[in-house]
Chains A and B, each alone.
Chain A
Amino acid sequence: MSSTLRVDWRASVSLTGRVVRWLTVPMLFPLALALFYGRGLKAILPAIAIAFVVGWGLERLHSDPAAALGAREGFLMVALTWLLISVVGALPYIFEGSFTAYGATSTLRLPVNALFETMSGFTTTGSTVMGDISFETHSRALMMWRQETQWLGGMGIVVLAVAILPELSVGGAQLMDAEAPGPGIQKLTPRIAETARALWGMYIGLTVLEIVGLYGFHQLGMAPEMTLYNAVAHGFTTMPTGGFSPEARSIEAFTAVVQWFIIPFMVAAGTNFALFWHVWNRDFNVVWDDIEFKTYLGAIGVLTAITAGLLFTTPGFDMLTNALEPSLRHATFQIASIVTTTGYASMDFNNWGQHAKYVLLFAMFIGGSAGSTGGGIKIIRWVVILKTLRRELFTAVHPEAVRPVRLGSTVIDEDAIRGIYAFTLLYLVIFAFGTLVVLLVGVPGQELSAFEATSAVAATLGNVGPGVGIVGPMNSFLPFPRASKLLMVFFMWVGRLEIFPVLVLLTHAYWRS
C-alpha cells in the first residue's frame, strides 16, 4: 500500500503521537490545581492517561519519523497535530460532565461541544459553547485547562515541538512554515530550533509580565476581582490572542484600570514577534521602518477613533453617551480585541448602535500581523494587495513596464504575491459559502439574521471569538445545530493553519504521483 502512496504517513502520525504524548506535561498544571482545590481530578487524570497511551501507541508506527520527514509529511503532521490535540484535549470536558455530579449539567459533556471548545481553545479563537460559565458546574482545574489550551496554541504547538524536541531541529523550518501565521516565517537565528526557542521565550516573558501586572493591581487594591487565579487565567489568554475568560462577563467583570492595562498586551500579541526580537537586540530602526507595524497601529487608531466617535455621540446610552473616558476605553479595548482577533469584551457590545457593530464586523477581516499570535487575513497581506493594486493601475496603462513590489527595501517575489491573492480569495470564498450554509441550516426555534450568521463565520474563520446577536460576547455558539458546529470547528482549524496546509491534503497530487 505504501508503495503507491507518495506520503510516508506513518512518520507523520508517529510525530503527531509524540506531540500528543508531550501534551500530558502541560496537563500536569490543571492536575495540580485539581489536587489543590480538591475538585476535577476525575476529569484531568483519565485524560492524561489516555493522552499518554494514545500518543505512545501512535509513536510506535514508525521507528525514526524525524529522518523520514519531508515536505509532504510535514504538512500532514501539522494538520493532523492540530486535529488530534483538539480531540485529546476535549477529553477532560467530556469526563467532567460524565463522571461528576456537579458537572452533569455541563453542555460540554457532549463530544461535539467539547471538540468545539477545545478547537476554539487551541486555535485561540475564543468562541464558546460553555452554557454556564461558572465554578458551580466546572471545576477550577478544568477552567484553567480551557485557558491553557489557548496559551499552548498561541505561539504554536509545532513551534513549541521544534523548540524542545532535538530531533526536529533539521526539518523544523518546513513544519513551522506550515503552521506559522502569515506568508512565510522569518528566521531570527541561523538555527531554526533557536528561532523557535526565542519566539517562545519572548512569549513566556510577556505572559509573565502581564500576570505580574494584573496581580499587582489586585495587591494595590485597584482590582478586587483580579485574584491570582484570574491573573494567571487571563495571562494565559491575552498573549495568544485567545479570548477565553473564566468570568461569564469576560473583562467587563474587572475595573477600568485592568481594562486599560490589558489593551497594550493585546496590541503586543498582534504584533510580529520578530519585532520584539529586534527591540531586545536594541535594533530599533527595524521597528520604525516596518510598514506592517505602522499599518497595524494606524488601522487600530483609525477604527478606534471612528468607534469612539460613534459611541460618544449615539444618544440614549447612559454609560457611553457624552462620557469621554468610557467611550474611549470601550472603543479602544474592543477594536484592539477584534483586530488582534483576541475576542475579549469589556462590555456587551451587542448593545451598541448598529453602525458601531458594523465597524467591528469590518475589523474582523483585518487580522493581526504576520508572525504574531493573531488570526484573520493579516495586515501584511492587505499591505501587499494594496501595493499591487496601485501597480495594476500603472501597468494597465503601461503594459510593458516592469515594476517590482517592494516592502521597505526588499522586493517581493511575484510568486509570493500570487500566493497572497490565492489565500485572500480562498478565505473570502470560504467565508461567503460558510455564511450561506450556516444561514441555510439556521438555528432551531430562532430567527438567524444574515448579520449574525456573517459574524459567526467571520469570528470562527478569523479565530476572533465572539460575533454579534445570538453569538454576542455575553452569549454563546450553543444554539447552533450540530452540523453548523462541526463546520465551525473546520473553519477554526483551516483558519488557524491558513487554509493551504489543509487544502493540499485534499488534492490527488499530494497522495499519489
Chain B
Amino acid sequence: MSTRGLAVVGRDLGRILQVYAVMPAATIAVAFVWGEFYAAPALLASAALPLAVGYGLSERYADVTEPGKLHGMVIAASGWFLVAVFGALPFLLLAATMHAGLFGAPALNDTVAAFRHPLNALFESMSGFTGTGLTMTVHEDRLPRVLQWWRSFMEWVGGVGVIVLTTAILARPGSGSLTLYESEARSEKIHPSIVSTVRTIWWIFLLFTFLSVCVLWLAGMPLWEALNHAMTGLATGGFSVTDNSIATYDSVAIDFALVPIMLLGSIAFPVHYLALQGHLGDALDDLQTRWIVGFFGLGTLALTALLYANGVYAATGPVSALGVSLTGTGATVFQSFRYAIFQFVSAASCAGFQTAAIGTQWSAGAHLLVSLGMVVGAAAGSTAGGIKLVRVATLLKGAAFRIAGVFYPRSAVRSFRLDDRTLTSDELAREFEEAAIITLLWFVFLGFGAAVLLLTVDSSFTLENVLFEVASTQGNVGLSAGITGPEMPTPAKVVFLFNMWIGRLEIVPVLVTLRGLFYGFGVRRR
C-alpha cells in the first residue's frame, strides 16, 4: 500500500469515527431517562473527541479515491481497534467524574473504580465491540445505568459490525463468507456493498431485538434488564447487567427463553434475510444452518450426559417447569439438560451468558467439551465467533475428498459439492487452503494466549481453566472459568486484548495490518 493507500485508510477511519461519535451522544439520552445527569459531560467529551479526530482525518484526506477490497482489511482491523480505544473513554471519564465528585456524582464504588485504570477500560471496551463479554466489572448491578447501557450498546453495534465485516468486507473466495448479493461479491468497490448490507440487515436486527425484549419480558425479566440482555444476546456478546449473569434469576423460563435468542444470533443473517423474504425452504437448505442444528444438538446431548454422569446436579431439590414438578432422578436429568443446553448454546453461539459455576463445579472433561464449542463457533455471517462452521465443513469435506482421491490420476476431472455450489478441484483446493490457514492460525494463537496465561496467572488455575478462558477470549464468547477480572496480571490482560481483536477479525486482517505497521505497506518481495 502506497501513501495514497494510507490516505484512503486515514480518510475511512475518520468517517468511521464520525459515525461512532453518534453512539456516546445518543447515550446521553439514557443518562437523562435515568436521571444520571452527572454522566452527561463525560459522554459529551467522549463524543466530541472522536468527532474532532474523525473530522480532521476525513477533511485532511477528503480528495482521495474510493477504497478497494484490499484496503478493507486494514481499515477493518485498525478501525475496530481505534473504536475500542475511543469506546474506553466513557468508562474512564465517568470513573474520573465519580472519583472527583463533579456534577453531583455519587461516590465511587469499587466496581467503577476499576475503570480508573485505562487498561481495564480498554479491555471492557474491546470486549464489548468484539462481542466477547469477558469483563472487568465485578458487580454489574453497581454500575451506573449509563455504563450498563453503554456495555450493551457496544456489543449490539459490534454485532452489526461483524455481520458487515464477514458479508461485505472479508467476502472473498474461500473466506467462507456468504454474500447478500452475488454481484457485490465481485465488485471492487467496497462502500456500495457495505451500505446495502447495512440497509438490509439493520431492520432484521431491530426486529429481532424487539422480539427478544418481548420474549424475555414475558419470561419474567424486568424491562430494563430484558432490553439489555436482548441486545447482548442477539449480538451474541454476553455482557449482563446483573451481578451473576443469567444465574441471578435462577429461572427455568428465562434460561429457555434465551436459548432461541442466542440461536437467532448464531444463524447467518443472509439466511434470516431469505427466510423473512418468504424463502423459508432456501433458508433451511443452508449448509451452516443444518450444521448448527446437528452441532448444537450433539454438543448438548454429550454435555447433558457428562453432567449427569459427574453428578454435578445430583443433589438438587424438586424443580418445576411448565407446571410439572420433578424430583429425584427426574430433577437431576432435567437440571443437567437445562444447564447443558444453555451453556453449550451460549458457548457455541459465542454469546457467553453464564448460568453455571463452570470453573469450580464442572469437571475437566466438561471444560474441554464446552471449549470445543467455543473454538468451533457457529455460522459465518452471523454475530458468532470461533472458527465457524462453514470452515469446519470445508475442511472435513475437503479432507475426505482428498483421501478418497488418492488413487485418481492427477489429470482426472472431479467436482465437489459444498452447500449448493459445485466446485472444481482447483476451487476446492483454494477454499480448503484458506480454511486450513485460518484454522491453523487459530490454534497457533490459542497456544500463544495459553502460554502467556500459564506463565502469568496464579498457579491454582489448571490447564483446563486456562484453555477454557483463552478459547472463550479468542472465540469472542465471554464465558469465564474465573480467571478474568480486574486483578488479572497486566500481561494477561494485554494478550487477551490481542486475542479478542484477532478473533473478531479472523486473524488475517490483523496480521496484514501489523505487518504493514512493521515493514511498511509497500509491495515487497519477502
Q: A397-B1, A450-B464, A510-B407 are in contact. Are A418 and B429 (CB under 8 A)?
A: yes
Stretch at the interface among A164-172, A235-243, A475-483, A499-507: A499-507
In the complex, residue of chain B having the shortest beta-carbon distance to the beta carbon of A385: B440
Stretch at the interface among B23-31, B238-246, B364-372: B364-372
Complex alpha-carbon distance, A508 and B406, angstroms? 12
Min CB gap A353→B, angstroms: 9
Chain A residues whose CB sits within 8 angstroms of the CB of B433 once the complex forms: 417-418, 421
Chain B residues whose CB sits within 8 angstroms of the CB of A503 once the complex forms: 403
- B99 in contact (CB, < 8 A): no
- B107 in contact (CB, < 8 A): no
Is there contact, CB below 8 Å, between A436 and B403? no
Chain A residues whose CB sits within 8 angstroms of the CB of B322 once the complex forms: none
Q: Of B369, B398, B508, which contacts A396 at CB under 8 A?
A: B508
Most chain A CB neighbours (cut-off 10 Å) among B70, B398, B433, B509: B433
Complex alpha-carbon distance, A72 and B404, angstroms? 12
- A389 in contact (CB, < 8 A): yes
Q: Of B364, B406, B443, which contacts A449 at CB under 8 A?
A: B364
Q: Of B364, B403, B410, B439, which contacts A453 at CB under 8 A?
A: B364
Min CB gap B410→A, angstroms: 8
- B313 in contact (CB, < 8 A): no
Is there contact, CB below 8 Å, between B372 and A72? no
- B512 in contact (CB, < 8 A): yes
In the complex, residue of chain A having the shortest beta-carbon distance to the beta carbon of B404: A509
Is there contact, CB below 8 Å, between B508 and A393? yes
Min CB gap A471→B, angstroms: 14
Min CB gap A498→B, angstroms: 13
Please classify the interface of chain B as helix (H, G, I), strand (E, B), loop, or mixed, using the class held by over half of its residues: helix
Is there contact, CB below 8 Å, between B436 and A418? yes
- A414 in contact (CB, < 8 A): yes
Min CB gap A376→B, angstroms: 15
Is there contact, CB below 8 Å, between B463 and A450? yes
- A355 in contact (CB, < 8 A): yes
- B462 in contact (CB, < 8 A): yes
Contacting B at CB under 8 A, from A421-452, are: 421-422, 424-426, 428, 432, 435-436, 439-440, 442, 448-451
Contacting B at CB under 8 A, from A371-430, are: 385, 388-389, 392-393, 396-399, 414-415, 417-419, 421-422, 424-426, 428
Q: Of B70, B73, B437, which contacts A392 at CB under 8 A?
A: B437
In the complex, residue of chain A having the shortest beta-carbon distance to the beta carbon of B511: A393
In the complex, residue of chain B having the shortest beta-carbon distance to the beta carbon of A359: B451
- B306 in contact (CB, < 8 A): yes
Is there contact, CB below 8 Å, between B454 and A397? no
Q: Of A388, A396, A419, A440, which contacts B73 at CB under 8 A?
A: A396
Chain B residues whose CB sits within 8 angstroms of the CB of A414 once the complex forms: 429
In the complex, residue of chain B having the shortest beta-carbon distance to the beta carbon of A417: B433
Q: Of A358, A389, A450, which contacts B437 at CB under 8 A?
A: A389
Contacting A at CB under 8 A, from B368-397, are: 368-369, 372, 395
- A454 in contact (CB, < 8 A): yes
Chain B residues whose CB sits within 8 angstroms of the CB of A385 once the complex forms: 440
Complex alpha-carbon distance, A509 and B408, angstroms? 10
Please classify the interface of chain A as helix (H, G, I), strand (E, B), loop, or mixed, using the class held by over half of its residues: helix
Chain B residues whose CB sits within 8 angstroms of the CB of A422 once the complex forms: 398-399, 402, 432, 436
Chain A residues whose CB sits within 8 angstroms of the CB of B400 once the complex forms: 507
Contacting A at CB under 8 A, from B431-458, are: 432-433, 436-437, 439-441, 443, 447, 451, 454-455
Is there contact, CB below 8 Å, between B443 and A428? yes
Complex alpha-carbon distance, A425 and B394, angstroms? 12
Q: A393-B511, A421-B433, A440-B306 are in contact. Are A449 and B403 (CB under 8 A)?
A: no
Min CB gap B195→A, angstroms: 23
Interface size on A, as a range, is 35 or more
- A257 in contact (CB, < 8 A): no
Contacting A at CB under 8 A, from B343-372, are: 364-365, 367-369, 372
- A354 in contact (CB, < 8 A): yes
In the complex, residue of chain B having the shortest beta-carbon distance to the beta carbon of A440: B365
Contacting B at CB under 8 A, from A451-467, are: 451, 453-454
Q: Of B399, B443, B467, B512, which contacts A397 at CB under 8 A?
A: B512
Contacting A at CB under 8 A, from B402-439, are: 402-407, 410, 429, 432-433, 436-437, 439
Q: A422-B402, A440-B306, A507-B403 are in contact. Are A450 and B439 (CB under 8 A)?
A: no
Is there contact, CB below 8 Å, between A450 and B364? yes
Chain A 44-82 per-residue mask, 1 if CB under 8 angstroms from chain B, else 0: 000000000000000000000000000110010000000
Chain B residues whose CB sits within 8 angstroms of the CB of A398 once the complex forms: 70, 523
Q: Of A354, A388, A393, A439, which contacts B459 at CB under 8 A?
A: A354
Complex alpha-carbon distance, A388 and B430, angstroms? 13
Is there contact, CB below 8 Å, between B440 and A421? yes
Q: A355-B454, A417-B433 are in contact. Are A451 and B440 (CB under 8 A)?
A: no
Q: Of B172, B403, B508, which contacts A504 at CB under 8 A?
A: B403
Min CB gap A86→B, angstroms: 24
Complex alpha-carbon distance, A436 and B400, angstroms? 22
Min CB gap A153→B, angstroms: 24
Q: Of A436, A448, A451, A500, which contacts B369 at CB under 8 A?
A: A436
Min CB gap B342→A, angstroms: 20
Is there contact, CB below 8 Å, between A451 and B463? yes
Q: A388-B437, A428-B443, A451-B462 are in contact. Are A439 and B404 (CB under 8 A)?
A: no
Can you report 17 A-B residue pairs in the complex whose CB atoms are below 8 A from each other? A71-B407, A358-B454, A389-B437, A389-B440, A393-B511, A397-B73, A397-B512, A398-B523, A415-B410, A421-B433, A421-B437, A439-B368, A448-B364, A449-B462, A450-B463, A500-B406, A509-B407
Known: A396-B508, A418-B429, A421-B433. 7 other contacts (CB 8 A): A393-B511, A396-B509, A399-B172, A414-B429, A432-B372, A439-B365, A439-B368
B residues apposed to A, CB below 8 Å: 1, 70, 73, 172, 306, 364-365, 367-369, 372, 395, 398-400, 402-407, 410, 429, 432-433, 436-437, 439-441, 443, 447, 451, 454-455, 459, 462-464, 467, 508-509, 511-512, 515, 523
Ranked 10 nearest A-B pairs via Cβ: A450-B464, A421-B436, A509-B404, A450-B364, A451-B463, A439-B365, A440-B365, A507-B404, A450-B463, A422-B399
